Amino acid sequence: MNLDVFFKSKITAEEFILLSVIQQNSGGNQKEKLEEINDDYKSLEEKGFVKFVKAKNKSQSVHELVRLDKKGSKLLIDLFTYSPEEDTEKIISWIETTYKSMGKFIKNRKEACRRCEFFSKSTGIEKNKLAFLLQTFMQNVYNPDIHGDNFREAKKQNPNLVLSNQVENIFWNKPNLFAKHYNLDDSPLYNFYLENEEHFLKQFERYEN
């Protein structure tokens, strides 16, 4: 769920559940569940999230007639649409530019943003600290034009040298086709950080408060 959208919408958790049930109330087929909840829908109607279709007979209750309005439908879509943070967008754009200058690439920008945010939230390394870590990492990415055609030989000269061709894989490199859950163990950037942790901790002191 996109929590920024949720909090900006000013709906309650109960109203979110109610909207989700109403979303499936086409033809009044969620009437019984809505009767159990027994809401009067006034709050949602005032916020512009629901409307009521015209009754076909006098026996139909509001629970059978309530529907999502366009605003309500859009809210539920937006709640489950990933939207990267502004700082994340800037970082990914910077990395993308740097990688492309080395003949490397990005395949899925949103996925790169997701993995970047996963890394930052999981490690607590963010903002200037993250920028410094990434800059150092990219300075040590193997580039045949600079380091020569033999990676093993180049790594003898620079033990910190890393193989990295795709932006998304900096933060998490999918270990196999079936892997779905991000894990720091499979993060080239995190492994790079751990291998040079003492250096980075010392440098990070510059960005404390």
Report the C-alpha gap between 125 and 27 in whole angstroms.
50
Same domain, 62 and 104: no
Same domain, 174 and 146: yes
* Residue range(s) defining the domain that contains residue 91: 86-207
Q: Please give the tally of structural domains in the chain.
A: 2
Report the C-alpha gap between 167 and 138 in whole angstroms.
10
Task: Please identify, among 11, 45, 79, the residue that sits at the C-terminal boundary of a domain.
Answer: 79
CA dist list (Å): 137 to 98, 153, 200? 12, 19, 11
Identify any residues that bridge with 68 across adjacent strands, giving them in sequence order: 50
CA of residue 10 relative to chain centroid, distance = 21
Report the predicted TM-score, pTM, of the whole model to 2 decimal places. 0.70
Same domain, 33 and 97: no
Task: Please identify, among 40, 64, 79, the residue that sits at the C-terminal boundary of a domain.
Answer: 79
Tens of each residue's pLDDT in the chain, 209 residues: 878 888 999 999 999 999 999 999 888 889 899 999 988 899 999 999 999 999 888 888 999 999 999 999 999 998 988 888 889 999 999 999 999 999 999 999 999 999 999 999 999 999 999 999 999 999 999 999 889 899 999 999 999 999 999 999 999 999 998 988 999 999 999 999 999 999 999 999 998 86
Of 92, 143, 150, 145, which Cα lies nearest the Cα of 117?
Answer: 92
